[in-house]
Every structure is written in structure tokens, then in C-alpha cells.
């Protein structure tokens, strides 16, 4: 089953604006992979990373968890074969050419459970968890219902600091 997420940047009008990510969106999956890609492939350049993740791939992502960023992003029908198993999979390049999707904002139901807001100026990553009206984790195919649910800030990490404890954060800790 997929754990949907949103990769975002700060937006002065809405709080954040982001793109959809379908598989492995929990902190020990996508959170860890974003951190490692930033500090590995992108060598700490948050703006360059956000350009690729948000601007260059406007249809969003199937999965970027544990991928090889030296491979060209794109959709592959048989993603389990060879290099395709490690390819960053977007919905707008390769065998799939979806049109750009609208930006996702906090007040919309994006079908997501987690949000990762990367701030290039502040050099931080804020991690939000979808919570139901009674405070439980919002799980399922429809994620947040803006009428009754909310995005709860779990933690904000200094991108120049030590790597967070993603497993602890996934289990409800502060990372």
C-alpha cells in the first residue's frame, strides 16, 4: 500500500506549495531519501533540488525513495528491471507524459499523509503529519479532509545539522 506525501517549499500566501509523491512517503522512506539526496547528489543545494523536484517535474512523483539521481527521471512501465528499479519515477517524463498538476496547498485534500517543506533560505526541512479531528494519524487513500483534519508540525530540522532519526519520527517521536 502506498503512503502518499507532498514535497513542498514555503509559500507566502498559503504556508507551503508542493507536488504529490505516491509511494513510501513516511519519514523513514521519503524523509530520509530527501535528506540523503540533498546531502549527496545535490551537495547541500536546496534551491537546485527544489527546482528539479517541484519545477522540472510538475506532474509529481511516483517514487524517489532510495533512487539513483545519476539516472534520468522518468516513468517506466517495468520499473523492476535493471536500472529502472533505481530510477527516479515522475509522472511527466519517460513512458508516461501526464500534464502538469496544480500546486498542492495545506487547505486542499491531496490524499497525502505527510508533507516535507524544504526552505532554501532558512536551510530547514519541516515535516508535517496529517491528523484527524481527534488527533490520530490520518491514514488512507484520502489523507486529509480539510473540513475536519489538520496538518500537525512534527519537527523542523536544520539542514546543516545531524541527520534526523527518521524511524523515531515515523513512530511519532520528534526525530
3-state secondary structure of 158: strand
- Number of domains composing the chain: 1
Give 36-65 pLDDT, tens digit per residue.
999 999 999 999 999 999 999 999 999 999
pLDDT value of position 47: 98
Q: Cβ distance 96 to 6 under 8 Å?
A: no
pLDDT for 72 equals 92
List, for residues 147-162, the tens digit of each pLDDT value: 777 889 999 999 999 9
Q: Does the pLDDT value for residue 140 go beyond 80?
A: no
pLDDT score of 137: 78
Rounded average pLDDT over 136-154: 74
- pLDDT (0 to 100) of residue 20: 96
Grid cell, residue 23, equals 509511494
* Within-domain flag for 175: no
Confidence label for 81 from pLDDT (cuts 50, 70 and 90): low
Tell me: pLDDT of 86 over 90.
no
Q: In the β-sheet with 150-158, what is the strand arrangement from edge to edge? A: 89-90, 61-63, 15-21, 5-11, 114-119, 124-131, 150-158
Mean pLDDT on 107-117? 88
Q: Are 108 and 102 in contact (CB under 8 A)?
A: no
- In a domain, residue 9? The reply is yes
Query: Where would I find the H helices in 14-170?
Result: 32-39, 46-50, 166-170
* Domain boundaries, position 11: 5-170
Cell numbers representing residue 174 in the block: 520528534
Please report whether residue 66 resides in a domain: yes
Task: Band the pLDDT of 23: cuts 50, 70, 90.
Answer: very high
pLDDT band with cut points at 50, 70 and 90 for residue 79: low
Amino acid at each position: 500500500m502506498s503512503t502518499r506525501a507532498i514535497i513542498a517549499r514555503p509559500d507566502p500566501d498559503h504556508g507551503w506549495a508542493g507536488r504529490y509523491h505516491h509511494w513510501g512517503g513516511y519519514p523513514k522512506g521519503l524523509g530520509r531519501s530527501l535528506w540523503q539526496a540533498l546531502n549527496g547528489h545535490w551537495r547541500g543545494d536546496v534551491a537546485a533540488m527544489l527546482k528539479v523536484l517541484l519545477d522540472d517535474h510538475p506532474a509529481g512523483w511516483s517514487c524517489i525513495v532510495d533512487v539513483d539521481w545519476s539516472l534520468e527521471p522518468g516513468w517506466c512501465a517495468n520499473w523492476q528491471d535493471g536500472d529502472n528499479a533505481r530510477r527516479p519515477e515522475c509522472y511527466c517524463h519517460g513512458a508516461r507524459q501526464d500534464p502538469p498538476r496544480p500546486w498542492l496547498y495545506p487547505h486542499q485534500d491531496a490524499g497525502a499523509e505527510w508533507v516535507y517543506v524544504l526552505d532554501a533560505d532558512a536551510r530547514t526541512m519541516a515535516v508535517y503529519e496529517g491528523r484527524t479531528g481527534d488527533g490520530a494519524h490520518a491514514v488512507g487513500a484520502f489523507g486529509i479532509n480539510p473540513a475536519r483534519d489538520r496538518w500537525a508540525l512534527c519537527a523542523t530540522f536544520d539542514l546543516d545539522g545531524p541527520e534526523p532519526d527518521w524511524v523515531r519520527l515515523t513512530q511519532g517521536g520528534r526525530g
